[in-house]
A = this chain, B = another copy of it.
Amino acid sequence: MKRFCLTVIVVLWVLVPVVLAADGEAPISDATQECLDCHSEFHPGIVQDWHNSRHSTMTPQNALKADKLKRRMSSKSVPEALQNQAVGCAECHTLRAGAHSDTFEHNGYEIHMVVSPDDCATCHVTEKTQFAKNLMAHAYKNLAENPLYQDLQRTILGESTVEDGKIRFSPANGLTRAEACFYCHGTRLEVTGYETRDTDAGELEFPIINGWPNQGVGRVNLDGSRGACSACHSRHHFSMEMARKPYTCKECHAGPDVPAFKVYSSSKHGNIFSAMNSTWNFTAVPWTIGTDFSAPTCAACHISLLVNPNGEVVNPRTHQMSDRLGWRIFGLIYAHPYPKEPDTTKIRNRAGLSLPTDFDGGFAKDYLIGPEAQKIRRQTMQNTCLNCHSTAWVKSHFVRLDNTIQTSNAKVLTATGLVSRAWESGYAQGPGQQGSPFDEFIERRWSDVWLFHANNVRFVSAMAGGGDYGVFEDGRYPLTNALLDMQSWLETRNMMSTAKKK
């Protein structure tokens, strides 16, 4: 009987913590308790989400006690007032009250609606600092302050009219922009006034925030900081499990311009994830290759602290995801070495445009990392690959990627040659003719090539994403279709032009 009960104990030892973990023992501050008293009634969904979170069950002081590799907090210390209580409503929404322009008086508290990376940095300073070095943190400015991208945006989102047989696009309004490009890039938030609302708790005054709601990665916040941790760490559970699964990345990497999720889910890695992930451990810190999971997710390759089963660090946690990306395979308009600085508005190509490449494929070298930096980043990535793949395998994979970057850039060059002929022949009005390069039929077939198909070909190569995807689903077949469509259109115009001259 004793031995049997011992077995029972061992088995329950595994099962019980799952239940207990939800209980937690972190005391709730009086301020947060006051929030909960009303909001449990008014917004029970997010309150319950928070109750399910680690924030509700762990004090910063206890979080700091974990061994180095197991620590989830990167700040070495936190203000004393926050140390010994759960990270609740008030702890975040009253933090740095003076810094936020949306701070308002709410039942005796100075609270702000929009919690920013600078707030989160109180406990997670390394993540905030690293993230700020990403292109993503600058995604608002990089789009909104680049004249060429603004032109592309105008022709996609703008109001359309037909004038003299041509389609004219006027700029889109702010509401459209906020739910389109800036949904992912982030909006610029602004307090435009205050309104009094008759709530179930009586008349209350609230700030009116232009650009809200938004969780874009480059959101310009009301304390001047950039980004939104909630883009990936969805409120108010802030679940590591969710951030480590590829669905989170899919929100903004869904389309043919950045087809990461679709390519992943057609790859061997994605297959293994889809079939087997229900038995994996998505909350372990550090994350152990082979033991916790048997194929990488987006987070495994790009972000998470990985160790091998012997506990040795394979790759450190990083929120500067570019630190293992030697190439930027997202073509603008060609794939190119990664930009040195996250603020890409500073880049100038030979023609003086804010583009990392020239129209003929040359790189704006001064603004892009060099071969040595590329090599180091590649090696960092390979640290992870080599845990499951032989050196020969990994080496060959990256040789193929290099080849694909070159051959896909060559196909874009063919497309650029075709659109240039249209411009030179006067069949379309490009930059040289004071026209937009994005608002005529053949120009769009050209942007299809570099923005969609060539990117797909490269993502498939980079992620070993499968032959059918990169050929027929999206990739080499539609890419060459687009080239042939451009050629046919040019030929038709040439024939009409010749007929006219006669």
Q: How close is A225's CB to chain B, nearest CB, in angstroms? A: 20
Task: Say which residue of B183, B290, B467, B490 sits within 8 Å of A184 (CB atoms).
Answer: B467
Contact present for B245 and A266 (CB under 8 Å): no
Contacts A290-B45, A310-B44, A410-B160 hold; do A488 and B441 have CB atoms under 8 A apart?
Answer: yes
| Bound: A397/B212 CA distance, A | 9
Contact present for A266 and B254 (CB under 8 Å): yes
Task: Say which residue of B43, B157, B469, B490 sits within 8 Å of A388 (CB atoms).
Answer: B43
Task: Say which residue of B5, B271, B417, B439 sits within 8 Å of A250 (CB atoms).
Answer: B271
Q: How close is A239's CB to chain B, nearest CB, in angstroms? A: 7
Contact present for B414 and A160 (CB under 8 Å): yes
> Which of A9-17, A24-32, A78-86, A121-129 forms contacts with chain B?
A9-17
Number of identical protomers: 3
Contact present for A266 and B290 (CB under 8 Å): no
What is the chain B residue whose CB lies nearest that of A291?
Answer: B48
Contact present for A404 and B179 (CB under 8 Å): yes
| Bound: A258/B12 CA distance, A | 48
| Bound: A42/B309 CA distance, A | 11
Contact present for B181 and A471 (CB under 8 Å): yes
Cβ contacts A132-162/B at 8 Å (1 or 0 each): 0000000000000000000000011101111
Within residues 253 to 283 of chain A, which ones have a CB less than 8 A from any CB in chain B?
253-258, 265-268, 270-272, 274-276, 278
Instruction: Indicate the member of A46, A254, A476 with the most B CB atoms within 10 Å.
Output: A254
Is A47 close to B, CB under 8 A?
Answer: yes
Contact present for B208 and A44 (CB under 8 Å): no
Is A444 close to B, CB under 8 A?
Answer: yes
Contact present for A417 and B162 (CB under 8 Å): yes
Q: How close is A158's CB to chain B, nearest CB, in angstroms? A: 8
Is A284 close to B, CB under 8 A?
Answer: no
Is A329 close to B, CB under 8 A?
Answer: no
Contacts A396-B212, A468-B254, A484-B444 hold; do A242 and B272 have CB atoms under 8 A apart?
Answer: yes
Is A101 close to B, CB under 8 A?
Answer: no
Instruction: Indicate the member of A45, A483, A492 with the most B CB atoms within 10 Å.
Output: A45
| Bound: A176/B451 CA distance, A | 20
> Which of A60-68, A165-173, A344-352 forms contacts with chain B?
A165-173
Contact present for A294 and B45 (CB under 8 Å): yes
| Bound: A468/B278 CA distance, A | 28
Q: How close is A219's CB to chain B, nearest CB, in angstroms? A: 12
Contacts A213-B393, A487-B162 hold; do A234 and B183 have CB atoms under 8 A apart?
Answer: no
Is A188 close to B, CB under 8 A?
Answer: no
Q: Which residues of B contact A391 (CB under 8 A)?
A: 197, 199, 206
Contact present for A16 and B5 (CB under 8 Å): no
Q: Which residues of B contact A309 (CB under 8 A)?
A: 40, 44, 48
Q: Which residues of B contact A11 (CB under 8 A)?
A: 12, 15-16, 19
Contact present for B481 and A444 (CB under 8 Å): yes
Within residues 32 to 80 of chain A, which ones have a CB less than 8 A from any CB in chain B?
40-49, 52
Q: Which residues of B contact A156 (CB under 8 A)?
A: 471, 476-477, 480
Is A379 close to B, CB under 8 A?
Answer: no
Is A472 close to B, CB under 8 A?
Answer: yes
| Bound: A197/B391 CA distance, A | 9
Is A433 close to B, CB under 8 A?
Answer: no
Contact present for A167 and B271 (CB under 8 Å): no
Contact present for B157 and A476 (CB under 8 Å): yes
Is A374 close to B, CB under 8 A?
Answer: no
Is A241 close to B, CB under 8 A?
Answer: yes
Contact present for B275 and A251 (CB under 8 Å): no
Contact present for B470 and A180 (CB under 8 Å): yes
Contact present for A480 and B160 (CB under 8 Å): yes
Q: Which residues of B contact A388 (CB under 8 A)?
A: 43, 45-46, 49
Contact present for A476 and B180 (CB under 8 Å): yes
6 closest residue pairs by CB, A with B: A48-B290, A183-B467, A45-B388, A255-B472, A255-B473, A441-B488
For this complex, 11 residue pairs linking A to B, each with C-beta atoms less than 8 Å apart, are: A44-B309, A45-B289, A49-B294, A52-B294, A167-B480, A175-B403, A213-B396, A250-B265, A254-B469, A448-B481, A496-B496
